[in-house]
Structures are given as C-alpha cells and as structure tokens.
Amino acid sequence: MQFLALIVFMLVAFCGLYLVKRRKQGKKISRWLIGSHGLAGVLGFVILLAGLVRGYWSDWGWIALGLFALLLVGAFLIFGKWFKSRRTPFMLIAAHGTFALTCIGVLMYSLVTVN
C-alpha cells in the first residue's frame, strides 16, 4: 500500500506542477483544481496510513507519514487563509512544493529499506 500511496503522491505532485505552470502563465486556476489537488493529497495520506497500520512497520515509513501530516496540515491552514483572496504568495507555493518533494523522497527511501 505504500507503493500505491507513492503513486498517488506522484500524481498529486504532477497536478501541483500543472497548477504552478498555469499560475506562471497568468491563467486562471479554478477552485475545483485546487480542491481536487488537496483531496488527492488526503487520499494518498489515508492510503499510506492504512498501509503502515496493516503491517509495513518501517521507521522511515512512519517518518514519511509524519512529514506528510505536517505538509497537509500546513497546506490546509496556510493556503486556506489565502484561498479566499485568490493570491497566494509564490514563495509559499514553492516552499510547499519543495517540502512535498522531500516527503516523497523519504517515502521512496522507506520503500527501499523495507523491500
């Protein structure tokens, strides 16, 4: 299930890159796209949690879960504040993406150490 969570997080990352591309081009980003990006991230988190509870007791897996929890909570708190004004500072978006890539890297490492 950790591998499935990794696939979901990779798809979420590509969706995030698409959102950044649209923003840099000055195109409008619908709330539906941003919401689906967040919901897909939550889905990946739930899949990862279910996989860890089912039996993949890797220390790095739990570290990845904790990092993804911080990522999700931070994203919903911080972006929720700016979501109403429709202009999130780009540095905040870049920090979110960088931290997300770090989380994905830790999850990949946990898969390597378990298997």
DSSP string, 31-62: HHHHHHHHHHHHHHHHHHHHHHHHT---HHHH
Prediction pTM value: 0.85
- 4-17 per-position pLDDT tens digit: 989 999 999 999 99
Q: What is the DSSP string of 70-104?
A: HHHHHIIIIIHHHHTTT---HHHHHHHHHHHHHHH
A 10 A CB-CB count for 108 gives 17
Domain locations in the chain as residue ranges: 2-114
Q: Tens digits of per-residue pLDDT, 33-72?
A: 888 998 999 999 999 999 888 876 678 888 888 999 999 9
